[in-house]
Amino acid sequence: MVRVLSVASECAPLIKTGGLADVVGALPAALAGLGATLRTMIPGYPQVAGQLNKPRTVAKIDNLFGGPARILSAEAAGLALLVVDAPHLFDREGGIYLDAAGHDWPDNPLRFAALSYAAAHVAVHGAGKWRPDVVHGHDWQAGLVLEYMHALGGDAKTPFIFTIHNVAFHGNAPGNMLEQLQLDPWRFNADHFEFWGQISALKAGLMGADKITTVSQTYAEELMTDTFGMGMEGVLRHRQADLTGIVNGIDTDVWNPATDPEIQSYKTPRGKAANKKKLQAAFGLEPAGGPLCVLISRLTSQKGIDLLIEALPALLDNDGQLALLGSGEPALEVALHKLAAAHPNVGVQIGYDEALSHRMMAGGDAILVPSRFEPCGLTQLYGLRYGTVPLVGLTGGLADTVINASPAALSSGAATGVQFFPVTAGALGNAFHRLSALYAAPKIWAQLQRNGMKQAVGWERSAVEYHALYAGLAASD
């Protein structure tokens, strides 16, 4: 049995801002039957502390970047947790990364260095009688684990896997924070964590990890290019031999149209009709002749929302509709509100509502993911599961999980959605025309839906790949 310490800044269903939390929350159950036990380390935010069942102290750190801290062992939502109880860093109102005004907490470098330090402490000294065989860090917030292992344990270290969920976030701090962050100044160089004169937690993880994973094979390849590497392409090319892509899965119990309590359940695409009618009513939309497209997303340029706004006439001209749920950049929110006010076939709700997202997935004809880059994406996987045809940009995990409705794929009966490239407003507009033509052919559309619902979108295959990495590293330690 391989013991794994999974280290992350968020974990569903306890605390979530995006897909990272879903992955971290799903991995323990996915690996349970394969001979690996995961304990997940997360910060002791107020939202987490209130959900812990019978927490007990398994380690203490007298001074964790400005105050005392405890590491608590507890269970919550079926997860085995190690929680970093450091009120001076994590017990505050607002978001986990941003304050109430939407700005980064100024002490974020210290807060997530503390998470990495606590993980290193457990790797070197254990948590009670438990000690991991492998540490698995997620994104920059866990990038400094190895640096602190080096400080606490010399050359002896537990094997470390580092997963990139989104390379755009580097976790940089000024170079003059070396002492404050308790980092070895002799390692402030290009071979460790120095990045253009700054401390980069992401680079630290990339340079030190025994193995690096990311969340789809195409994204792994994209990361080594100037277009998608976000400044880390050279580092990733240097580590290419240790980089692999493992596509994410979804929780197929939570996302199951046959049992979903938020919807009128169904097992075949025909059952979507009642859900579509309810969804149109919820968004103030009348029945229309074209496809009802849904979009559930952060409203940012990365997600291609500006492209959607520009290309939307191509959908509306075909009597299509849009129901959108999300929040993000204020200018995009304003533009979407204006569209909804001007077009009876556009409905917009700003914010996030988990129950509504299920109803949208069940009621929509198509799910839109027009991202400029998308490491993996989960939304298109939910769409496949619910028979909601994905329309996606040809990038990252979207390329790996959706089979484009090309003539060959349609002829062979393999197609599951529509891809467009390049990721521009013009190409998206053309994709809307293609989508509308497919929707106007009921037999072809039903086949796309059925194909999607047959796809393996759970964690079974990916869990086997993660377990192989864990077991290989544990055996070589």
Contact status, residue 418 vs residue 293, Cβ threshold 8 Å: no
H/E element, 399: helix 396-401
Distance CA 219, CA 324 (A): 26
Q: Mind giving me the DSSP string for 243-270?
A: EEE------TTTS-TTT-TTS---SSGG
Q: Mind giving me the DSSP string for 76-119?
A: ETTEEEEEEE-HHHH--SS-SSB-TTSPBPTTHHHHHHHHHHHH
Torsions phi, psi for 24 (to 5 deg): -60, -40
Query: Of how many residues is the chain composed?
Result: 477
In three-state secondary structure terms, 206 is helix
Q: How many helical (H) and strand (E) elements, i.e. helices and strands, does the chain have?
A: 18, 18
What is the b/e burial string over 325-335, where b = at least 16 CB atoms within 10 angstroms of the residue's CB? bbebeeebbeb
* 250 CB-side CA count, 13 A: 20
Cis peptide before 344 (omega within 30 of 0): no
Distance CA 71, CA 117 (A): 11
CA distances 295 to 280, 291, 323, 413, Å, are: 14, 13, 6, 26
β-bridge pairing 194-195 and 198-200? antiparallel
Long-range contacts of 436-439 (CB under 8 A, 24+ apart): 436/290, 436/291, 436/315, 436/318, 436/320, 438/389, 438/405, 439/290, 439/291, 439/320, 439/365, 439/366
191 φ/ψ sector (left φ>0, alpha ψ -120 to 50, else beta)? alpha
Distance CA 352, CA 342 (A): 23
Any residues with CB less than 8 A from the CB of 465 and at least 6 apart, and which? 244, 246
Residue 203 labelled as part of a binding site: no
Distance CA 48, CA 420 (A): 40
Q: List the binding residues.
A: 16
Report the binding-site residues for ADP-alpha-D-glucose. Answer: 16
